[in-house]
C-alpha cells in the first residue's frame, strides 16, 4: 500500500521527494501530496538495461544551479501540448553517450589552444582513437616507416589488386598528425577519457607464422603501455567491410591457413585470441578493461557480400560471452544521397530504433547473452547541400542522443572531431580551416552548439515526455536532475512556428523556468552553416556565438504556465525549477 504524506514535512525529515536534494541520488516508490494537496508519485529507478550495462558505472547525480538570466516573455497562448511525467523514469542516463572520434590527421591537438578550450567546454567524456579505417593499418608503437617485418610491402584490396598499404604510426610527431602520446595528453588536458581501437587487420595480412598471435600481442602491448588509462577497447574497425585492410588477403603469403575473405566466424575466433591476450596484459598491471566485438547494425540487403550476410551469426556463435560489449556503426541516411532536412531528421527516430531491434534480435536468434551496445561511429551520409556542416546536422544529433537514451544504448561516439572540407561534405565537428570553407581553424560547426546546450540542461534520469499531436512535427525529450529540476529538449521539425505548453504529472514547478533557443541562420528551413542561440550568432560565415559558454538563458515565471515558442526548424532546451 502506498502512503500519503505531506511533501514539505518529508523533505525536512527524511529527504524522499523528487523536489529534495538527495545525497545518494536515489528515488523511492512512494506517493505524496504537497501543501496544496497535489498528489505526486516519487518513482523508483528501473532495473539497469543489459544494453547499457557497465557503461553506466561512471554515472553520478547531477545538480542544477540557476544562474543569471535574460528576462523574456513566453507566448500568451500555445496550440500544442507536451506532457511530462516525472514518475515514469525510462532509465538513468549513461554518461558514455556523448563521445566523439579523434583521428591521426587532425594535428597534434595539444598545441591547438582553441581546440583544447572547446573540447574542455564540451566535455564529450569519451574520445575514440585512432578511429576509422586507419585502425586496420595502424602500428601504435612504431616510428614512421618502421613497420613490423611481417607487415607486407603491399596489401590486397577487395578486387584482388595489390596496393600500397599506407601504414600509419603512433610515434609520428609531425605537426599534421596525432601521436599516441599526444592523444593521451589531449585527454588529460580536456578532462576526457579514451576508447581505443586495436589493429585487427594485421591478424589477417601479417606474414608471420602465427599472424593472429602477432596482432594480439601488439594489442596486448598497447594495454600494458596504456596502464589503465583506457577502460574501453575495440577489436578492429568495420572488419566485415570490403574497404577494410584484411577483408581480402593474399593466401600465398599467409602461414596459418586463413581463407581469402574474412567472415564473422573467423573474426569471432580471432576475437577470442585478442581478448585473452589483452585481458592477461591488463591483469599483469592490475587493471580491468572492457573489450568490444563488432556486429552489423542492420539486416544485410540481398546484394550484400556473403561476409555481411553471415557476419552477426558467425561472430555471436563464436564469441559467446567473451565480448564485454558489441560495436555497431551507422551513418543514418542513404549513402551519397542529397537527402532533404525532413529525411535526415526522420532517420534519427527510425534508424536508432531499428539498430536496437536488429542487434537485440541477433542476440536472441543466436542465443547470446545480451550485452551493452556501443555506437562507436555515427553521423549522416547526406551530401550535395552541405548537410553535414549545417544546423540540420545539429538537430539530427540532438534527436539521435534523445533516441539512444530512450532505446537504452550504452555508449556512442560521433564521427568525428575534424575531417576534410570536401565542399561541405565534412563530418568534422570543427573546421580545419581550409581556405575553401571560409572558416577560421577550429571554428565549431553547428552540431557543436546543439550538443553543448543539449547537455547543459540534461539531467541524470530520462523521463517520459509525450507530444499530444503526432502531426505537430515536434519531438520531446525530458529528464530530471537529482536536485529536483526537470530538463526538456523540444525539437521542431516543422517549417512553421510551434507554440508549445508543457504540462506535468508528478512534478510541481517552482517559480521560474529557463531556456535556450537554437535556430539556423538565413534559410532556417533549409541547410544553414550558422546557428543562433537566443539571438546571438557567429561573426563569420559559419558557426555560432563566440560567447556560448557564458551566454545567459532566457528566464520567465511559471505563474502563467510553461509556454515556449519553437521557431521553424528550431530546438529549445529548457529547465524548470522545482518547488
pLDDT digit string (tens) for 159-178? 999 999 999 999 999 999 99
pLDDT at 523: 67
Residues 27 and 461: their CA atoms lie apart, in Å, by 11
Instruction: Assess if residue 408 is contained within a domain.
Output: yes
- CATH code of the domain containing 204: 3.20.20.80
232 with 305, same domain?
yes
Q: Which residues contact 88 (CB under 8 A, 6 or more apart)?
A: 43, 463, 464
Of residues 399, 407, 265, the one with CA closest to residue 343: 399
Note the pTM of the prediction, 2 decimals: 0.93
25 with 104, same domain?
no
Residues 186 and 126: their CA atoms lie apart, in Å, by 12
Our separate counts of H helices and E strands in the chain read 11, 25
Last residue of a domain, one of 434, 456, 478: 456
Instruction: Assess if residue 51 is contained within a domain.
Output: no
Among all chains, which residue has been given the C-alpha cell 510553461?
Answer: 562
State mean pLDDT over 49-61. 98
State mean pLDDT over 24-53. 67
Q: pLDDT-based confidence at 38, cuts 50/70/90?
A: low
Instruction: Assess if residue 235 is contained within a domain.
Output: yes
| DSSP symbols for 433-489 | --GGGT--TTPBPHHHHHHHHHHHT--SEEEEEEES-TTS-EEEEEEE-TTS-EEEE
Decide if pLDDT at 24 tops 60: no
Each residue's pLDDT tens digit, 371-380: 999 999 999 9
Residues 246 and 262: their CA atoms lie apart, in Å, by 7
pLDDT at 522: 76
Query: Terminal CA-to-CA distance of the chain, rounded, Å?
Result: 26
pLDDT at 43: 85
Among all chains, which residue has been given the C-alpha cell 599534421?
Answer: 176
Instruction: Assess if residue 389 is contained within a domain.
Output: yes
Q: pLDDT-based confidence at 5, cuts 50/70/90?
A: very low
Q: pLDDT-based confidence at 63, cuts 50/70/90?
A: very high
State mean pLDDT over 173-202. 98
Q: pLDDT-based confidence at 465, cuts 50/70/90?
A: very high
- State which residues form the domain around 554: 58-93+459-578
Instruction: Assess if residue 155 is contained within a domain.
Output: yes
pLDDT at 31: 52
Decide if pLDDT at 540 tops 60: yes
Three-class secondary structure of residue 297 per DSSP = coil
Instruction: Assess if residue 52 is contained within a domain.
Output: no
pLDDT at 134: 98
Q: pLDDT-based confidence at 42, cuts 50/70/90?
A: confident
Decide if pLDDT at 10 tops 90: no
Cα–Cα distances in Å, from 280 out to 211, 273, 274, 317?
Answer: 19, 11, 10, 23
Question: What is the domain count for the chain?
Answer: 3
Residues 373 and 42: their CA atoms lie apart, in Å, by 30
172 with 202, same domain?
yes
Residues 463 and 440: their CA atoms lie apart, in Å, by 40
Decide if pLDDT at 131 tops 90: no
Of residues 53, 47, 49, the one with CA closest to residue 323: 53
Of residues 59, 41, 39, the one with CA closest to residue 49: 59
Residue 424 DSSP code: G
Residue 298 DSSP code: S
359 with 476, same domain?
no
146 with 227, same domain?
yes
State mean pLDDT over 521-546. 92
State mean pLDDT over 404-423. 98
Each residue's pLDDT tens digit, 311-368: 999 999 999 999 999 999 999 999 999 999 999 999 999 999 999 999 999 999 999 9
Of residues 19, 548, 51, the one with CA closest to residue 292: 51
Instruction: Assess if residue 133 is contained within a domain.
Output: yes
CB atoms within 10 A of CB 260: 12
CB 137 within 8 A of CB 208: no
Phi-psi category of residue 310: left, alpha or beta, with phi > 0 → left and psi -120 to 50 → alpha: alpha
Of residues 292, 381, 290, the one with CA closest to residue 328: 292
Three-class secondary structure of residue 148 per DSSP = coil
Among all chains, which residue has been given the C-alpha cell 539556423?
Answer: 520
Each residue's pLDDT tens digit, 329-339: 999 999 999 99
Cα–Cα distances in Å, from 550 out to 67, 198, 529, 546?
Answer: 10, 39, 22, 9
Decide if pLDDT at 25 tops 80: no
CB 390 within 8 A of CB 520: yes
313 with 258, same domain?
yes
- CATH code of the domain containing 539: 2.60.40.1180
Instruction: Assess if residue 49 is contained within a domain.
Output: no
CB 575 within 8 A of CB 84: no
Task: List, in sequence order, every residue forming a beta bridge with 411; answer none if it has no partner.
Answer: 374
Last residue of a domain, one of 397, 425, 456: 456
pLDDT at 395: 98
Each residue's pLDDT tens digit, 133-166: 999 999 999 999 999 999 999 999 999 999 999 9
pLDDT at 385: 97
Q: Which residues contact 178 (CB under 8 A, 6 or more apart)?
A: 102, 103, 104, 105, 106, 107, 108, 109, 129, 130, 186
**Cα dihedral across residues 467, 468, 470, 473: positive or negative:** negative
Residues 128 and 117: their CA atoms lie apart, in Å, by 18
88 with 104, same domain?
no
Q: Extract the C-alpha cell encoding 51.
A: 544494453
Decide if pLDDT at 432 tops 80: yes
Decide if pLDDT at 302 tops 60: yes
Each residue's pLDDT tens digit, 437-450: 999 999 999 999 99
412 with 496, same domain?
no
pLDDT at 37: 52
pLDDT at 525: 78
Q: Extract the C-alpha cell encoding 213.
A: 598471435
State mean pLDDT over 505-523. 94
Cα–Cα distances in Å, from 378 out to 214, 230, 466, 495?
Answer: 30, 21, 26, 26
In our burial notation (b when 16+ CB lie closer than 10 A, e otherwise), range 96-115 reads: bbbbbbbbbbbbbbbebeeb
pLDDT at 181: 98
107 with 81, same domain?
no
pLDDT at 446: 98
126 with 190, same domain?
yes
Percentage of the chain beyond pLDDT 70 is 93
113 with 172, same domain?
yes
Mean pLDDT taken over the chain: 93
302 with 154, same domain?
yes
Last residue of a domain, one of 402, 428, 456: 456
CB 338 within 8 A of CB 305: no
Amino acid at each position: 500500500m502506498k502512503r500519503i504524506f505531506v511533501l514539505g514535512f518529508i523533505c525536512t525529515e527524511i529527504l524522499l521527494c523528487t523536489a529534495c536534494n538527495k545525497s545518494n541520488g536515489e528515488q523511492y516508490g512512494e506517493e505524496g501530496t504537497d501543501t496544496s494537496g497535489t498528489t505526486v508519485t516519487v518513482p523508483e529507478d528501473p532495473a539497469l538495461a543489459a544494453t547499457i550495462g557497465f557503461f553506466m558505472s561512471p554515472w553520478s547525480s547531477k545538480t542544477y544551479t540557476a544562474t543569471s538570466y535574460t528576462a523574456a516573455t513566453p507566448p500568451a497562448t500555445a496550440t500544442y501540448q507536451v506532457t511530462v511525467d516525472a514518475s515514469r523514469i525510462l532509465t538513468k542516463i549513461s554518461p558514455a553517450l556523448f563521445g566523439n572520434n579523434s583521428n591521426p590527421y587532425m594535428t597534434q591537438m595539444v598545441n591547438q589552444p582553441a581546440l583544447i578550450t572547446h573540447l574542455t567546454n564540451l566535455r564529450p567524456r569519451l574520445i575514440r582513437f585512432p578511429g576509422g579505417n586507419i585502425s586496420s593499418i595502424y602500428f601504435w608503437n612504431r616510428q614512421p616507416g618502421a613497420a613490423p617485418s611481417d607487415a607486407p610491402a603491399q596489401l590486397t584490396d577487395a578486387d584482388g589488386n595489390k596496393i600500397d598499404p599506407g601504414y600509419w604510426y603512433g610515434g609520428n610527431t609531425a605537426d599534421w598528425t596525432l601521436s599516441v602520446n599526444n592523444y593521451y595528453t589531449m585527454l588529460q588536458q580536456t578532462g576526457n577519457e579514451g576508447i581505443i581501437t586495436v589493429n585487427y587487420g594485421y591478424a589477417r595480412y601479417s606474414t608471420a607464422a602465427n599472424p593472429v598471435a602477432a596482432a594480439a600481442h601488439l594489442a596486448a602491448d598497447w594495454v600494458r603501455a596504456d596502464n589503465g588509462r583506457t577502460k574501453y577497447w575495440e577489436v578492429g574497425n568495420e572488419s566485415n567491410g570490403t574497404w577494410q585492410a584484411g577483408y581480402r588477403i593474399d593466401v600465398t603469403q599467409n602461414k596459418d591457413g586463413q581463407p581469402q575473405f574474412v567472415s564473422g566466424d573467423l573474426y569471432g575466433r580471432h576475437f577470442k585470441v585478442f581478448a585473452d591476450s589483452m585481458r592477461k596484459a591488463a591483469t599483469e598491471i592490475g587493471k580491468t578493461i572492457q573489450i568490444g566485438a563488432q556486429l552489423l547494425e542492420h539486416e544485410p540487403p540481398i546484394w550484400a557480400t556473403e561476409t555481411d550476410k553471415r557476419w552477426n551469426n558467425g561472430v555471436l556463435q563464436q564469441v559467446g560471452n567473451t565480448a564485454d560489449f558489441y560495436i555497431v556503426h551507422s551513418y543514418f541516411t542513404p549513402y551519397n544521397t542529397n537527402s532533404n532536412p525532413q529525411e535526415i531528421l526522420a532517420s534519427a527516430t527510425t534508424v536508432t530504433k531499428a539498430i536496437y531491434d536488429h542487434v537485440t534480435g541477433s542476440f536472441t536468434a543466436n542465443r547470446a547473452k545480451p550485452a551493452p551496445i556501443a555506437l562507436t561511429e555515427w553521423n549522416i551520409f547526406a551530401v550535395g547541400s552541405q548537410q553535414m556542416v549545417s544546423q540540420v546536422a545539429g538537430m539530427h544529433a540532438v534527436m539521435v542522443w534523445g533516441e539512444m537514451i530512450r532505446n537504452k544504448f550504452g555508449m556512442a561516439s560521433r564521427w568525428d572531431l575534424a575531417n576534410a572540407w570536401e565542399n561541405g561534405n565534412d563530418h568534422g565537428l570543427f573546421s580545419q580551416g581550409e581556405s575553401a570553407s571560409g572558416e577560421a581553424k577550429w571554428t565549431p560547426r553547428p552540431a557543436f552548439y546543439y550538443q553543448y546546450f543539449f547537455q547543459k540542461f540534461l539531467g541524470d534520469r530520462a523521463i517520459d515526455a509525450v507530444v499530444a499531436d503526432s502531426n505537430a512535427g515536434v519531438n520531446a525529450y525530458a529528464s530530471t536532475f537529482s536536485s529536483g529540476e526537470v530538463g526538456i529538449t523540444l525539437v521542431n521539425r516543422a517549417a512553421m512556428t510551434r507554440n508549445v505548453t508543457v504540462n506535468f504529472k508528478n512534478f510541481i514547478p517552482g517559480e521560474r523556468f529557463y531556456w535556450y533557443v537554437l535556430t539556423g541562420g538565413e534559410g532556417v528551413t533549409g541547410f544553414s552553416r550558422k546557428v543562433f542561440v537566443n539571438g546571438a550568432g557567429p561573426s563569420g560565415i559559419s558557426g555560432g556565438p563566440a560567447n556560448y559558454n557564458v551566454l545567459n538563458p532566457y528566464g520567465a515565471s511559471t505563474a502563467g504556465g510553461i509556454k515556449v515558442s519553437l521557431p521553424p526548424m528550431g530546438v529549445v532546451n529548457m529547465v524548470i525549477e522545482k518547488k
